[in-house]
Amino acid sequence: MRALLVVNPAATTTSARTRDVLAHALASDLKLEVAATEYRGHARDLARQAAEGGEIELVVALGGDGTVNEVVNGLLHNGPDPDGLPKLAVVPGGSTNVFARALGLPNDAVEATGALLDALRERSSRTVGLGLVSGTPGTEDEGVPSRWFTFCAGLGFDAGVVGRVEQQREHGKRSTHALYIRQVVRQFLAEPNRRAGAITLERPGEDPVTDLVLAIVCNTAPWTYLGNRPVYASPQASFDTALDVLGLSRLSTAAVARYATQLLRSTPERGPQGKHATSLHDLTDFTLHSQAPLPFQVDGDHLGLRMSATFTGVRRALRVIV
């Protein structure tokens, strides 16, 4: 099998030694090419070239969730074709690695490589659903390019936290859970819409859900990890269904304390609940509109401010070695 290993050398837990060990192990079973990313979007470009070239059968992403997202968007540049496109494999090299862990892979690069080699020898794979977010027709965001996501997207408060974390990392701070918690506090103190939400969720044939402060869109569960603890915003979300949404309509001090506690105590059976929480399951098509420009994120990548975004849950979008 001809394979391309895409390495993000800037990923949090990726080192040259990790890359070399992984490449040596994979080369024993595969006809392997190795490419290191050199700029933002490079992993997407490399994966697109592999998909369009017709010779590569497998693309392995070594990096964090951002690297995986870029590779997925490169592979699916011309749309889903799980039987015709190269398969995807993931080796975690970031700080959180939600997609890899949600697939059941170890969070250690060496252990994950061993699991990947076992899966290749056993010809073990699965087809996963993905989310697609696009600019909403008839709005100022209409021309925004479409973007695939593997595990989550968000409009409002949580995306603001992601943006703050990215700013801190650009100034040399390490991506740690303590850093995220500090930015959650700062975002809460600066949030102008926490008592009266600006977001409306619209879906075909249903009444709109209004006055949301944040909307978290999940393609799988858990939503994220705090250390080794999984956090479930939408416990029913799955790679085998369409998209789930958790919306919160109030973020007062009491509400934040309540929902933060519920998230920390969440389980595969129970996520946040309450009169200010809206949970929706298995949505194929819906749109989020905002009365004001709000932070927007996809797979933990802050994409700036958006007034609207249209989502599609695409079942059986990509084949993954696992």
Q: Identify the pLDDT of residue 51.
A: 97
On average, the pLDDT of the chain sits at 92
Q: Identify the pLDDT of residue 70.
A: 98
* Residues facing residue 217 across a β-bridge: 153, 245
pLDDT (average), residues 207-226: 95
More confident residue, 275 or 176: 275
Say what the alpha-carbon torsion angle 176, 177, 179, 183 is, to the nearest 10 degrees: 150
Q: Identify the pLDDT of residue 176.
A: 67
Separation CA 100–CA 182 (nearest Å): 26
pLDDT band of 193, cuts 50, 70, 90? low
Among the residue ranges 81-85, 120-124, 148-152, 251-255, the one predicted with the least confidence is 251-255
Work out the angle at residue 157's Cα, subtended by the Cα atoms of residues 151 and 158, and round it to the nearest 5 degrees: 25
Buried b (16+ CB within 10 A) or exposed e, 12-48: bbbeeebbeebbebbeeebebbbbbbeeeebbbbbbb
For the cut 90, the answer to whether the pLDDT of residue 314 exceeds it is yes
pLDDT over 70, % of the chain: 97
pLDDT band of 99, cuts 50, 70, 90? very high
User: Rounded to the nearest 5°, which phi and psi values hold at 121?
Assistant: -65, -35
Residue partners of 97: CB distance under 8 A and separation at least 6: 64, 65, 107, 225
For the cut 80, the answer to whether the pLDDT of residue 179 exceeds it is no
More confident residue, 18 or 5: 5
pLDDT band of 177, cuts 50, 70, 90? low
Q: Are 143 and 173 in contact (CB under 8 A)?
A: no
pLDDT over 90, % of the chain: 76
